Amino acid sequence: MAALSSLATLASTGVGLYAQSRTAQQQAATQRAQAEITRQQEAARQQQLTLQQQAEARARGEQVARTVASARARLAAGGLQVSDGSAASVTQGLRADAAAGQADSDAIFRARLSAGRASLLNPDATLTSVLRAVPSFGNAVRNLLD
């Protein structure tokens, strides 16, 4: 009878280990699926940010071009040579301000992209399931030896 009891304990432990292994596999598959969904969402978010950045840069470029053209037209109407002296300084200053604004926008864009990165420390749970199974296996072996 003692042999049957230890065999039953061993069989029970084996079934328990198998069940834990299957549960761990299912959890790992679920985590992989969730990680893939998260990756796809992050890619979509980054694509959206990139498109938004491009649209803002285009709009900023058009605004600068209109502002420079307007300033040149006013200066030319005032009798100043547009490519010389203070008129050139004004248009160059407008372009420099636009370049500084673009640099700021690029910095914000890079910060927004980096803020959405997934952590490399996300739990994987592959080792966790093995560590959970070890005590029950140890208990089965101890019961067989007793």
- In single-letter form, the type of residue at position 33 comes to A
Judged against a pLDDT cut of 70, whether residue 110 lies above it is answered with yes
Q: What is the pLDDT of residues 65-93, one digit of tens each?
A: 888 888 878 877 877 776 777 777 777 88
Judged against a pLDDT cut of 70, whether residue 51 lies above it is answered with yes
Domain ranges of the chain: 2-118+125-145
**What is the value of pTM for the model shown?**
0.49
The pLDDT assigned to 30 comes to 92
